[in-house]
Structure 1
Amino acid sequence: MTEDKTQTALRLNRNDNIAIALDKIGAGDLVHEGNVTLLQSVQPGHKFAVAPIKSGQNVVRYGQIIGQATQDIAPGEHVHVHNLGMGDHAQDYAHSRDTKVLDVATDTRTFQGYHRADGRVGTRNYIGILTSVNCSGSVAKFIAEAAEKSNLLDDFPNVDGIVPITHGTGCGMSGENEGYDTLFRTLSGYAQHPNFGGILLIGLGCEVMQIADLVGGQSIRADGALRYMTIQQEGGTRKTIQKGLEQLRGIAELANTATRQPAPVSELTIGMQCGGSDGYSGITANPALGVASDLIVRHGGTTILSETSEIYGAEHLLTRRAVSVEVGEKLIDRVRWWEDYTARNKGEMDNNPSPGNKRGGLTTILEKSLGAVAKSGNAPLTDVYLFGEKIYKKGFVFMDSPGFDPCSVTGQIASGANLIVFTTGRGSVSGYMPTPCVKIATNTDMYSRLSEDMDINAGDIISDGVSLADKGQEIFEMFIRIASGEQSKSEQLGYGGVEFVPWQIGAVM
């Protein structure tokens, strides 16, 4: 038996029957947390039993059930996919039982943003070339490339760039079902987004998602900085590119009049994501982000939690914080929809976690979801929205989405997020134009390897003893800097050109 290793493991709740390895622990090592001797080597972020667990008994982490033992587990034994399964996870939703209003911040914080005609504030000033259908995607890119080659933006220094928004749908679908409505909301949300100083909307002409329906009978942009055309009507590729360049110049003239001006933090809407999660996610980055989320809410701003399939099994922690029974029920309605959606497509909600999540120490969706929900802090759940639905209430809200990160972020941006924050334990390389993304590492080892892609290291909560409160404040301050124009790592690397992924629901015909 080797010497006592007092700082290598953590039990998160006194009722937990497992602990988390904070470093690699060898077989035969005596661990202070639980006073157990390891029976096998355990990797960082992985779990081991600190008490005997009988087959069929609940395994508890965070004081919550993360599954049931599939065989007897001895103290000091590694707990993972070989001996832990889902089991029964029925929850008491107790709608609104634990709702507590946060204190309003006493200090007034501002960022430098772009004030739009509809009253919203952008954190960037791009021009978007938005496509109604995949058939117009290449032409949108041709126009953007032609604008770059001609140095069109040299005359417009206040414009951050031109972003072609292309996708693989818009036709081969019903024009009157849930999938159509979802895509319509998504495209409309991007067309109105405050991070765009103007929009050029391009279609082919014969698609299901008609340009006329997107623009007809509504004022898409209060500033008038929207132009639209179809390739068939303009006379083909070359003529559309030529007309598109002319339209871009007119849009750029309007967008260039915008300059950064002080705006209250209450005008920030932040989409919160986690991807490539590991055993540290629910200990470091996610709860630290929860502190930052509460700071945003206390300053009157909005934070969005999404990824419905990745709160599964932890939804009761959100319903108990709902501002009303009705809001709590709206969330459960979406969970029930997802249970039906996965079942009719011959999937299971526990298909998540991914192989990378499991290598990082996560075993069941219940365990992953409990860590993911920590991003939301303690603020009341103000409302629940559909994918891409415009968010009109301040505070902490939920938007329904898949757990597939690019798709989920696409919905959050369509709903109005002018900043994205992304926690990761395995690493992530992505960006989400027109909205900047702040990436937070859950562990110091990964941050060291991918420091050129990561904006903040939350691993120092474990490695250096940094408090959650201090890390949350650090994240909050970075939100303000990035919103004011400082580039995030993903922006510096040029990411954001391929991450627009509308949620495709329904038959492709």
Structure 2
Amino acid sequence: MYPPYPTLDAAGFQGHLRPNGRVGTRNHIGIFVVGNCGATAARMVADHFSAKRIAAFSNVDSVLPFVHELGCGMEMTGEPMNLLRRTIAGTIRNPNIAGAVVIALGCERNNIRGFFEQEKLELGPLLHMVVLQEIGGTANAVAAGIAAVEAMLPLANRSVRQTVPAAHLVVGLQSAASDAQAALSANPALGAAVDLLVQAGGTAILSETSDLATIEAQARARAASTAVAEQLAQRIHWWKQYTAGRDTQLTRQKHSDARGLASAAEKARSAWQRAGSTPLQAVYEYAHPVTARGLVVMDTPAYAAVSATGQVAGGATLLALTTGTGSGFGAAGVPTVKLASNSATFVRMQDDLDIDCGPVLDGSASVEEMGRVVFERWLAHASGLPTKSEELGVGENEFVPWPIGVFA
């Protein structure tokens, strides 16, 4: 068992406090679809609300489309449909989303009324439903969606940022285009920031389960209980079975040679540093609501867009991504803070990256000092400071629910 660790009671940020007690780092209105057939209408609604059109509502960050490719040609019952539904519903319930319009064609396998009923979503001033086949087509649906958002804007604008403890922050941990230097700088610095977050009472979500398969014993040893260790083992076992005999990063003997990573095991050991040093408190399946405090694991693929979508559906209000050779990723509706493992990458992609961890490599900063920098930047971005991906408008195409199941 791990000894108690100190708390950082003074740490806090300026967030949007919701009626249910959860706290958002942003204040968006989301335009969702139950299936791809409503995607164009959803984008038209969101595109109508330019920055100029919502300028009068200074507390609303944006109107965002959350469109995807699923919803039809799939089984109507079972885990594939359940996963899709809880991903959409979880994102609607994310505290970064003040209100939502859900659009459907009307004949999707993911029936919109079945979706609302299963996920216990209730229509109201901040949650509307629009069905193309019932309202008379795309133009009428877009007009109805615009009217719904116009009614929501004054309500969403009532939310004013207020000081809240860092315990309300939920950070999803990601990586993309890792290199060997990440193991020396960005990943351990991120782990140090995670320790500070946990000490402050917050939550960090580690994902990309396939990265843990080659270090299962090390990961299980961090579990706070036997039950948590067993849950982690079950998810790792599933990945080993799922990838057996396939050409995946888990089964390859060699990995990212061009980036200095010789094997999946080496990549896994580097990625594990992002988890810091505190006990693993819980294990969640994809897109399930995260309720535990501290370090938790959510089962996801390593594909950043799919992994991050599950984390956001689970309640992540900020993402932190480490990269070696650079990444342009940004999540839908949630600020994504990107850490470069080296200064050369940071300079080359400075319009995309937020923090340079190169000082750890040249000895001008320790891992602990860089971790403090990362943690303090989280609080700043959680308080409204835009990330580079937000400044670029990245995120509208990055809502990607895990596409499992049979398609026909």
TM-score, L = length of structure 2: 0.96
Which residue pairs with 1:136 in the alignment? 38
Deviation at 1:221, TM superposition (A): 6.9
Corresponding residue of 1:187: 88
1:200-239 maps to which residues of 2 (within 5 A)? Answer: 200-216=101-117, 219-220=120-121, 224-239=125-140
The code of the aligned residue for 1:215 comes to: F
Distance change (3 Å), C-alpha of 1:106 and 1:142 = closer
Contact residue 124 and residue 485 of structure 1 kept, 8 A = yes
1-structure distance, mates of 2:361, 2:118: 55
Structure 2 matches for 1:102-501, cutoff 5 A? 102-148=4-50, 151-216=52-117, 219-220=120-121, 224-343=125-244, 349-351=250-252, 357-501=256-400
**Amino acid of the residue matched to residue 288 of structure 2?**
E
Secondary structure of the 1:155 match is coil
Question: Greater relative contact order: 1 or 2 (C-alpha under 8 angstroms, separation 6 or more)?
Answer: 2
Counterpart CA distance in 1 for 2:281 and 2:368 is 23
Aligned-partner Cα distance in 1 for 2:252–2:72: 29
Amino acid of the structure 1 residue aligned with 2:92: A
Query: Is the Cα–Cα contact under 8 Å of residues 447 and 454 in structure 1 kept in the other structure?
Result: yes
Q: CA deviation at 1:348?
A: 6.7
Partner Cα distance (2:247, 2:187) in 1: 31
Contact preservation (8 Å) 2:86, 2:119: no
| CA contact 1:287–1:375 (8 Å) conserved in 2 | yes
Deviation at 1:164, TM superposition (A): 0.4
Cα deviation digits, residues 374-433 of structure 1 (max 9, x gap): 000111000000110000110100000000011100010000000000000010012112
Structure 2, unpaired ranges of 5+: none
What is the CA–CA distance in structure 2 between the aligned matches of 1:117 and 1:244, rounded to whole Å? 24
In structure 2, the CA distance between the partners of 1:124 and 1:106, relative to structure 1 (3 Å rule), is closer
CA distance in 1, matches of 2:124, 2:8: 34
Alignment partners' CA distance in 2, 1:241 and 1:278: 45
Opposite residue 105 of structure 1, the aligned amino acid is T
When residues 222 and 205 of structure 1 are mapped into structure 2, their CA distance, relative to the original with a 3 A threshold, is closer
> Residue 350 of structure 1: CA displacement?
2.5
Looking at CA atoms only, which structure, 1 or 2, has the larger radius of gyration? 1
Report Cα offsets for 1:46-91 as digits up to 9, x if no partner.
Answer: xxxxxxxxxxxxxxxxxxxxxxxxxxxxxxxxxxxxxxxxxxxxxx
Cα distance between partner residues in 2 of 1:134 and 1:333: 33
Counterpart contact for 1:312–1:365, Cα < 8 Å? no
Whole-Å separation in 1 of the counterparts to 2:332 and 2:348: 25
Say whether the 8 Å CA contact 1:342–1:348 is kept in structure 2.
no
How many angstroms apart in 2 are the aligned matches of 1:492 and 1:374?
Answer: 29
- Does the aligned pair in 2 maintain the 1:407–1:501 contact within 8 Å? yes
Report the equivalent of 1:37. Answer: none
Q: For residues 222 and 112 of structure 1, do their structure 2 counterparts lie closer, same or farther at Cα, with a shift above 3 Å needed?
A: farther
Please tell me the residue identity of whatever aligns with 1:175: M
Q: Which moved more, 1:461-470 or 1:415-424?
A: 461-470
CA separation in 1, counterparts of 2:207 and 2:332?
Answer: 19
- The answer as to whether partners of 2:85 and 2:119 remain within 8 angstroms in 1 is no
Q: What is the DSSP-based 3-state SS (H/G/I as helix, E as strand, rest coil) of the residue aligned with 1:363?
A: coil
**In the superposition, relative to structure 1, how do residues 505 and 351 fare at CA in structure 2: closer, same or farther (>3 Å)?**
farther
Corresponding residue SS for 2:81: helix
Cα pair distance change 1:171/1:218, threshold 3 Å: closer
CA distance in 2, matches of 1:469, 1:221: 46
Question: What CA distance in whole angstroms lies between the structure 1 residues aligned with 2:260 and 2:118?
Answer: 52
Please give the secondary structure, in 1, of the residue aligned with 2:251: helix
Looking at structure 1, the residues matched to 221 and 126 of structure 2 have their Cα atoms a distance apart, in angstroms, of 43
* SS of residue matched to 2:244: helix
Q: 1:399 to 1:486 in 2, by over 3 A?
A: same
Structure 1 runs of 4+ off > 3 angstroms? 217-224, 344-348, 351-354
Offset of 1:498 from its aligned partner?
0.8
Note the C-alpha offset of 1:351.
4.0
User: Which residue does the alignment assign to 1:86?
Assistant: none
Q: How big is the alpha-carbon RMSD for the aligned residues of Structure 1 and Structure 2?
A: 1.8
Q: Structure 1 488/451 Cα, relative in aligned 2: closer, same or farther at 3 Å?
A: same
Q: Are the equivalent residues in 1 in contact too, given 2:249–2:264 (CA < 8 A)?
A: no
Q: Percent identity?
A: 37
**Amino acid across the alignment from 1:293:** V
Change (3 A) 1:427 1:113: same
Contact 1:296 1:302 in 2 (8 A): yes
Q: Which residue is 1:69 aligned to?
A: none
